[in-house]
Structure 1
């Protein structure tokens, strides 16, 4: 009898974990605001231009094309991450539009 109860509890725990991971634990339509005051200040300080990525484009090639001077790679990656917080700079998608930092 104990084995059945523990098996049922285990299955319920697995099912609820699966439901949380696939659909999320927040109710639909509700969003959670996260404060990032440092990034907002830096975002205003970084001039940018919105560009759609074409085949063969990289973060550095686009930045060099739209900028007059060539900045350090670390600076470009840091500023791109500030302008596009949810995007990995190493995995740009063709056809997507991103904000690229301009250095003039």
Structure 2
């Protein structure tokens, strides 16, 4: 058995259910304090940005005069539809997890 009185590292004993000192200060596990921003907000912004870029590129490929080589399933317009999907999900995550929404 190790004698912990000789151990120079500090030991912190937390109550059950609390996973960090930050959560202990917040009052309840998982509670957001003022000034915190959810990581899902940034994921939403990133998906929204990629979705807008893909929508623009997909629209250009479909309605413009593309000089790109033909691919096997080009008639399904995958760039456009992935742009739609990413824009919808990115918009949802950006609105759902926006800062200041209590």
Higher strand residue share:
1
Q: Which of the two has higher C-alpha Rg? A: 2
What TM-score do the two structures reach when normalised by structure 1?
0.27
What TM-score do the two structures reach when normalised by structure 2?
0.27
Higher helix residue share:
2
